[in-house]
Amino acid sequence: MRKIHPYELYPGLCSRYDLRELKDRFRLIDFIVVDLDECVFPGFSQTYLGILVALRLLTNPERFFDIKFLLSLFKGGIFITLIKIKSVFNIKTSNLELLNKYEQIMKGIPLSYFEWAAQKIPALSFPYCFDTLKVLAKKAPLGIISLGTDIVLAQYEKTLNKESKIISFFSSNHLVFEDYNTRKVFVGYDRSRFYWSGIQKEEILRYKMKEFKKNFPLIIGHNIDDIPMVQLAKQKNGLGIGFNPSLKDFKFFDIVVRKRSWAPLNRLINNLMKEE
């Protein structure tokens, strides 16, 4: 780690470059993209969405017979537990399998439960995250590219843009709801714009850079799904920031944050912005 990121600029934040070179590189940045899960949000937002829906069904269902969905959600909880156990033995589950399973688990649940749960999620984000994004949005257009759901991302956009425009765009998987017994219910993902890989995230990044006519991206990501975007940023003389990446992924990022808070990154960004 020290060989790749020899400069500890703040406790919990190390860099490939010293502060002076970082400032020179940061001046070029004209486009910013952030990942959501385990980067802005401390976990997988879709899983938490399901947990919150289950809590609502247990405590205050809209209709008594809605509790039937608890069986599917319970099975989903078992599936997630097994995934975590498998990960201990380094047995991976693909994003595509996870997304397909999520679709099966949540099918039939009314839109109102999704909306209620999504409203709760932004408040659970990492400390200092919103403060940092507000500062970064003054530098360049800022968006979120995620394999998560549009209903959650729309809530982040609403929350962050309440006072001023911070989120310029977001790209994610789209949930489809259709009318059934006087309510709209979840029927599945929009397969015409279905994302499950880092390569697809890179393609979205390329498209958005072209749309906004920008050249020098800053990527804040977390894991292997963000590495294609980070590699593109490096090709373009941009920057890649890793938020608690795994040790094997350290080498892909120019800056690494090793805290359960955005506080070190907030200090760095404010410092870099002084030169603007």
Q: Where are the domains of the chain?
A: 7-42+125-273, 45-120
Beta bridge partners of 183: 180
- Across 144-160, b (16+ Cβ under 10 Å) vs e yields bbbbbbbbbbebbbebb
Beta bridge partners of 41: 37
pLDDT digits (tens, 9 = 90+) for 166-199: 999 999 999 999 999 999 999 999 999 999 999 9
DSSP state of 230: H
pLDDT in the model for residue 90: 84
pLDDT digits (tens, 9 = 90+) for 11-26: 999 999 999 999 999 9
Is the pLDDT at 48 greater than 80? The verdict is yes
DSSP state of 174: P
Length of the chain: 276
pLDDT digits (tens, 9 = 90+) for 122-153: 999 999 999 999 999 999 999 999 999 999 99
pLDDT digits (tens, 9 = 90+) for 215-255: 999 999 999 999 999 999 999 999 999 999 999 999 999 99
Is the pLDDT at 62 greater than 90? The verdict is yes
Which among 261, 270, 225, 269 has a CA at the least distance from the CA of 243?
A: 261
pLDDT in the model for residue 79: 92
pLDDT digits (tens, 9 = 90+) for 75-84: 999 999 999 8
pLDDT in the model for residue 276: 61
Distance between CA atoms of 133 and 147, rounded to whole angstroms?
A: 19
First to last CA, the chain: 30
Model confidence, pTM = 0.96
**What's the mean pLDDT in 63-73?**
97
The pLDDT mean for the chain works out to: 96
Cβ count near 115 (within 10 Å): 13
Architecture of domain 7-42+125-273: 3-Layer(aba) Sandwich (3.40)
Distance between CA atoms of 63 and 144, rounded to whole angstroms?
A: 35
